[in-house]
Amino acid sequence: MQQTACHECGVLVALPDHLSSSQYHCPRCNALLHRRGQPFSRIIVMAVTTLLLFVPLTFLPILSLDVMGMHSSATLFEALWRLVRDGYPAIAMLSILTALVLPVTLMLLLLLILIPLHLGYRPKYVARYYRAYEHAMEWGMVEVYLISIAVAIIKLSDMAALHVGPGLIIFIFFAMTFYITTMWFNPDDIWDRDALCE
């Protein structure tokens, strides 16, 4: 039996050494204490896919507008960046950070964590990247940005002729693979391998 404590209510619980169920919950507050993740190799592949999907997003337009012969289009990055010129650099930075920079950072951090572990390094060497990953997870907001594009499309549709660019379709796939990657990754697996080594 391995003793641990619930991170949400503090009660001491004993988890069995060989976890048979895919999920373990706290007996008092029902917080998720342990869940089963996917193999690291699969997550690495998925994270690389997500990063590759991000490459075309840097130059493909997500939306374009036509108003009385005038044309305007923007990529994911440009749409947020124009707030800087508008005199709101703080909001622009916050949006770019949470919507684009952090999700990409998360995928890079996952690779930094999982590739060394896959090659047989000790978990202690990747712990610092994992702590960064934990913080970035709280602030990464790809899915919110995706829904906000949908809201913006509806708001703009009665104002101008709107065309959906190829960037938007790729962004939907990017958000999906991003979500799958973070779902598949179970942080406990980093340390469980440590137990196997000892």
Partner 1 sequence: MPYVNDIEANRVLCTHCQKLHDVSAVRCDRCGGHLHQRRPYALLLSWGFVLSGLVFLVPANLLPMMVVKSIAGDDAGTIMDGVIHFLHTGAYGIAFVIFAASVFVPFFKVSVMLYLLLIIHFRWRARIMGGLKLYRLIHFIGKWSMLDIFVVALMVGLVQFRELATIVTGPAAMAFALAVVMTMVATEVFDPRLLFDMQQRSRT
Contact residues: partner 1, CB under 8 A: 3-12, 27-29, 33, 63, 65, 67-68, 70, 72-74, 78-83, 86-88, 90-92, 94-95, 98-99, 123-124, 127-128, 130-131, 134, 138-139, 141, 144-145, 147-149, 151-152, 154-156, 158-160, 187-188, 190-191, 194
Separation CA 76–CA 142 (nearest Å): 11
CB 57 within 8 A of CB 166: no
Q: Give me the least distance between CB of 180 and partner 1, in Å please.
A: 18
Instruction: Report the residue number, 23 or 45, with the smaller CB distance to partner 1.
Output: 23
Pairing mode of beta strands 32-35, 63-67: unpaired
Place of tokens 């065309």: 163
Q: Give me the least distance between CB of 19 and partner 1, in Å please.
A: 13
Instruction: Report the residue number, 107 or 189, with the smaller CB distance to partner 1.
Output: 189
The angle subtended at Cα 187 by Cα 145 and Cα 105, nearest 5°, is 40
CB 97 within 8 A of CB 91: no
Instruction: Report the residue number, 48 or 153, with the smaller CB distance to partner 1.
Output: 153
